Every structure is written in structure tokens, then in C-alpha cells.
């Protein structure tokens, strides 16, 4: 096959790929304030924090990196966008977005929620029922994780694994992939960080196996690996008191028994005390090992091949709390094709991540140099003040010395005057 034929096949495959990929929602905030016509702020509370469109203090591209930023400290935030409802039955579901905690967040959410299409967006709040909650959550040093929460039969189920999130100030790409074979994958910056099956990593269903309630450990089951040696005997000289009177102690000369009572020497640790005697341990000849409780099939377990399925997906929302504001959300994507999501991630976050990193590094370097210059200037000023103080001290010493010499000279002059002149 020639090069032109290979190129034609590649183009054809790419065309099929693009046709098959379905994008349900994509938001990159490239049209200025028009985003306000697509996003609905909740009115459930009167003091929700305000969102603003910005690329932040550092970025890879001043326009492409614009996103929604939290702008007020210690506030709840609630906004959402609606799209045509769909079901993910029989196909992958991919949720992807970028987060930048440029404020060096101390406590706050950076996750998204996917809601049913019939959500009342103007009344969205923390207790609103959702399908999926996904993304980073940071609070202090103890909580730095990625939430992956699914709603199953009206109950929210948290993943049992701990997935660590990024906690620096740069933009990061978060991707959740949910497959119809009931497997999942979490990626950060287009790299897999966790994967598995829904049934294994969440408690959606009762366990397949349970301990047999009829099984009991046999009475003669010996699970002691070691036992006392019956032939081992305690030495006759073993028992010694733990404390003894101090043999070097002497009764004070001024001790009066009538007043002070009978004198007793203080107690000290006994160097010959050996502690409680215990016979040595030997292998137990009757040891049978740890008894394992037999298991049986759980009669309450029933497999469900539709755990992954959500029938009426139609809203993506930001419903979170932040102590320190400044987080920027961008590049939202909901689609049914993993490769398409990866490609979009590369053409958005992938293009601007290095320039953003460089701009941040340049700012940090400039700030560091400015701080070093201030420190140097302060040290110079302090050295100048010290020199002035030293000069003043030297001048004072000189003045004192001159005064003493003048006084001494006057004294000598007086002594040289003849007595008849006095």
C-alpha cells in the first residue's frame, strides 16, 4: 500500500471517528459575556458568591484560558448550564473540565455535578439530587482528594479508594470515564490515576458472599501458635521485691521521733528485681491455624448491569463552598468518546499549560528578586544606621576625651601658680 493510500485510510478513519463521537456539552467561554445567557445562577440563597470571567493572574493564552472564577471569600457558589437531555445507555460517558486554584486554596471544592435535565436551576443547592459528583476537593492538609460520587437508587455512594488531587496553583485537567461494561477510569492531565469496576469500588450492592450464620468454630480448634512450656520452672531465687530501702541512706541528725515519727529509709529500685516470671513459649503441637469463617452466597445479592446508566442527563452545575476564592473553571466537556475527550484536552489545556507554567515561573522569579532587593535594601539601611550610631559614639567619646583633657589641663595650670599669687 502506497503512502497516499495510507493517508487516505487515515483520513477516512478520522472522519468516521469524528462522526461517531457525540458531544453533548462543551463550554470554553470564548464569546465574552455571552456565557451569562447559558449559565443560570441559583437563587436558593441570597448571598451566593459572584462569578467573574477571567484568565487569572497568569495564563497560557489571555483569551483561551478565560473561565469562571470564584471572586468572594467564604461563600457558597451555585450556577449551572442546561443542554439537550440524553441517556448514556450502551455507550461511554466522559466528563471533563479544568481547574486552576491560583489562590493557593486552603479549603474549598473544585468539583462539578451532573444533574437530571428536570433540575430547577434557579433553586439548585447542596441537597439537590444529582447523578454524578466529580472533581478535586481540598481542605487543609488532611483532605486533598478527587471525589467520584454516583447516585444509585436515590442514594449517593462515595468511591472507596483514595484518589489524590493536584494541590498547586496551575491549571489541571480532570477526566472521568464511565463505561457500559461497568468499569471506570479517572485521569488527571490526560494520565490515568485510578480505574476499576463499579461493583468493586463502591458499595452499590450487598456483598456477593456473607459469613455462613450456621458455621461455628469447633470447640477443639486450637488457634494458639505458641503455648507455655510445662517443663519450664521458675528459678527459686527469682522472686525479689521491686523496691528496697536505700542502704546508703542515713537518718538525719536532727530527726526527732517524737515529732517526726519513726524514721524509715527511702525506697530505691531493686537491681536484682527481674519482673514477673513467665514460662518460655514453645510451638503448639496442636495448632491448626487461624479458623476461617466459611462463606455462602448472599441471598440478598442481586447483580445489576445498569449501575452505570443514567437516563435523563441534562445539566452540569457548580455547587460548592470556598473559604479563599480565586478558583477558575474552564473547558467543560461531556461526550461519549474517550479519544475525542483526550484530543480536546490536548488542544485546549495541552496547548496552554506550558506557557502558563512559564508565566507563573517568571512572576515568581520577579517577586523573589523584588523581595531579595527589599531585604538587601533593609540590610543596607540597617548597616548605615549602625555606622551612624558608631560615628556618634566615637564623636561622643572624642568630646568626652577632650573635656577630660581640658579639665586636666586646668588642674595643672592651677597647680603651677606660685603660692604668693594664690
Q: Which residues contact 47 (CB under 8 A, 6 or more apart)?
A: 75, 76
CB 310 within 8 A of CB 115: no
Overall size of the chain counted in residues: 422
Round to whole Å and give the CA distance between 114 and 367. Answer: 40
Binding-site positions read 111, 113, 130, 137, 319
**Which of these, 38, 48, 40, lies nearest to 70 by C-alpha position?**
48
Chain centroid offset of residue 73 CA: 20
Long-range contacts, 289-294 (Cβ 8 Å, 24+): 289/223, 290/223, 291/217, 291/218, 291/221, 291/223, 293/211, 293/212, 293/215, 293/217, 294/211, 294/212, 294/215
Alpha helices (H) in 146-229, listed in sequence order: 198-201
Nearest CA to 152 out of 132, 172, 128, 126 is that of 132
Three cell numbers, residue 330: 474552564
Write out the binding residues for an alpha-D-glucoside.
111, 113, 130, 137, 319
- CA dist., res. 378 & res. 376, Å (int): 5
Q: What is the DSSP string of 45-65?
A: SS-PPPEEEE--SS-S-TTTT
Handedness of CA 171, 117, 109, 160 (dihedral sign): negative
Burial 301-312 (b: 16+ CB within 10 A, else e): eeeeeebbbbee
Amino acid at each position: 500500500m502506497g503512502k497516499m493510500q495510507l493517508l487516505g485510510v487515515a483520513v477516512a478513519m478520522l472522519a468516521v471517528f469524528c462522526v461517531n463521537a457525540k458531544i453533548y456539552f462543551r463550554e470554553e467561554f470564548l464569546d465574552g459575556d455571552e456565557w451569562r445567557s447559558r449559565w443560570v445562577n441559583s437563587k436558593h440563597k441570597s448571598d451566593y458568591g459572584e462569578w467573574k470571567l477571567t484568565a487569572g493572574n497568569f495564563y497560557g493564552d489571555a483569551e483561551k484560558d478565560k473561565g469562571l472564577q470564584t471572586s468572594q471569600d467564604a461563600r457558597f457558589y451555585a450556577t449551572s448550564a442546561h443542554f439537550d437531555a440524553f441517556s448514556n445507555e450502551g455507550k461511554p460517558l466522559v466528563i471533563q473540565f479544568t481547574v486552576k486554584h491560583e489562590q493557593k486554596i486552603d479549603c474549598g471544592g473544585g468539583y462539578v455535578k451532573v444533574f437530571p435535565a428536570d433540575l430547577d436551576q434557579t433553586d439548585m443547592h447542596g441537597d439537590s439530587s444529582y447523578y454524578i459528583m466529580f472533581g478535586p476537593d481540598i481542605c487543609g492538609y488532611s483532605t486533598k482528594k478527587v471525589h467520584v460520587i454516583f447516585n444509585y437508587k436515590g442514594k449517593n455512594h462515595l468511591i472507596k479508594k483514595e484518589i489524590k488531587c493536584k494541590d498547586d496553583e496551575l491549571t489541571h485537567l480532570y477526566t472521568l470515564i464511565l463505561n457500559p461494561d461497568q468499569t471506570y477510569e479517572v485521569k488527571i492531565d490526560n494520565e490515568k490515576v485510578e480505574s476499576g469496576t463499579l461493583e468493586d469500588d463502591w458499595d452499590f450492592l450487598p456483598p456477593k458472599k456473607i459469613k455462613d450464620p450456621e458455621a461455628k468454630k469447633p470447640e477443639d480448634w486450637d488457634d494458639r501458635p505458641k503455648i507455655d512450656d510445662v517443663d519450664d520452672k521458675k528459678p527459686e531465687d527469682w522472686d525479689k521485691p521491686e523496691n528496697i530501702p536505700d542502704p546508703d541512706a542515713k537518718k538525719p541528725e536532727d530527726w526527732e521521733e517524737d515529732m517526726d515519727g519513726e524514721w524509715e529509709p527511702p525506697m530505691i529500685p531493686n537491681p536484682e528485681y527481674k519482673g514477673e516470671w513467665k514460662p518460655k513459649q514453645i510451638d503448639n503441637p496442636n495448632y491448626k491455624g487461624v479458623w476461617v469463617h466459611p462463606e455462602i452466597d448472599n441471598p440478598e445479592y442481586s447483580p445489576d448491569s445498569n449501575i452505570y446508566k443514567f437516563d435523563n442527563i441534562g445539566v452540569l452545575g457548580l455547587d460548592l463552598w470556598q473559604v479563599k476564592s480565586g478558583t477558575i473553571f474552564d473547558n467543560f466537556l461531556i461526550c461519549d468518546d474517550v479519544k475525542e475527550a483526550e484530543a480536546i484536552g490536548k488542544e485546549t489545556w495541552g496547548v496552554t499549560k506550558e506557557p502558563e507554567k512559564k508565566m507563573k515561573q517568571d512572576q515568581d522569579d520577579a517577586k523573589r528578586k523584588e523581595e531579595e532587593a527589599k531585604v538587601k535594601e533593609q540590610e543596607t539601611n540597617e548597616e548605615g544606621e549602625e555606622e551612624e550610631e558608631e560615628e556618634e559614639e566615637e564623636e561622643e567619646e572624642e568630646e568626652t576625651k577632650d573635656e577630660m583633657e581640658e579639665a586636666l589641663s586646668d588642674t595643672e595650670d592651677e597647680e603651677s601658680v606660685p603660692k604668693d599669687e594664690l
